[in-house]
Amino acid sequence: MNRYCADHTMIATDLDGTLLDHYSYSYVPAQPALSFCQHHTIPIIVNTSKTRLESMVIRKSLGLSDPFIVENGSAVCIPKPWMARLHCESEQLLQTSDHWVLPLGTSRHRILAKLEKLRALGFRFQGFSEMPLSHLMEATGLSATDAELANQREYSEPIIWQDSDAELERFKECLKQEQLTLLKGGRFYHVLGATSKGRALRWLKQAYQQKNRALTTVVGLGDSANDIEMLNEADIAIWVRSPIHGVPSIPNHPMSFATQAKGPAGWNEAIASLFGIETRS
């Protein structure tokens, strides 16, 4: 172990383009560092624009059992065995068969109603909810099963913008007046409530720290603009280099750096470097 002690560390990570390859969705190049974290029981908090159902499938394949944050900070999902490790008021939480869920955003139903109001003003965009499955598969690069999971959203609507940049700015303002947020992800814009990956991580970090005083370092890993608030909440902010865009900047963060390798190979590189471990991806 090098500079950072596993007992004092929590990792918060984006999925698409960060822990998962932008094109193939593979996490294999990150496997050595993932195995190290699992061996040292370092919590790995998936913090993604994906849905709860998609995240459950991916976490299972990654072998993760820690809490996770879905739909760009719209909800924190807490596996039942984890409840004893967090300080949280149960009246805030909804129960599912596998998890407790803390909603922080706005329901998709309400978002869709507000988007229809905006469409009537002449804005041009296409949402997931309007796309036939074949179109959704093409737009996301997912299989039919995975595309269906991606469309089972609870708190947000991804859209393809079909209008000018000037209209996009006006659209953003209109959304703001409706207490909605527009975020740019790797492939889509996402319309969601007044929340963010950073807000959700802050809640989880505080709930965890109240029971685990030893937690001193949160490491955040992301690749896109929708990760900035999460990285701002992290003590160590890591930009995982993307094959499709440059490295965004986080002004004034005391400890941020970008990886050399892209996607999951960059994830592996960053975690190996932080903990001083030798890994080969």
According to CB under 5 A, which residues from 178 to 207 bind Mg ion? 186
When the beta carbons of 86 and 156 are compared against Mg ion, the nearer one is 156
Residue 14 known to be catalytic: yes
Nearest to 38 by CA among 70, 11, 78, 76: 11
Cβ at position 80, least distance to Mg ion in Å: 28
By CB under 5 A, residue 14 contacts Mg ion: yes
By CB under 5 A, the residues from 140 to 179 that bind Mg ion are none
Q: Does 223 bind Mg ion (CB under 5 A)?
A: yes
User: How far is it between the farthest Cα atoms of the chain?
Assistant: 58
Confirm or reject binding of residue 13 to Mg ion (CB under 5 A): no
Under the criterion CB under 5 A, does residue 264 sit at the interface with Mg ion? no
Q: Which residue is nearest to Mg ion (CB)?
A: 17
d(Cα 73, Cα 58) in Å, to the nearest integer? 17
C-alpha 213/C-alpha 215 separation (Å) is 6
Q: Which residues are CB-neighbours of 213 under 8 A, at least 6 positions away?
A: none
Catalytic position from the list 7, 14, 98, 146: 14
Answer yes or no whether residue 71 interacts with Mg ion by CB under 5 A: no
Nearer to Mg ion, 224 or 279 (CB): 224
Amino acid occupying residue 209: Q
- Applying CB under 5 A, the site for Mg ion has a residue count of 6
Query: Does residue 21 interact with Mg ion by CB under 5 A?
Result: no
CA angle, 132 then 61 then 145, to 5°: 15
Q: Which residues of 179-217 are buried (b: 16+ CB within 10 A; e: fewer)?
A: ebbbbebbbbbbbbbebbbbbbbbbbbebbbeebeebeb
Nearer to Mg ion, 17 or 193 (CB): 17
Active site residues: 14
Binding region for Mg ion (CB under 5 A): 14, 16-17, 186, 223-224
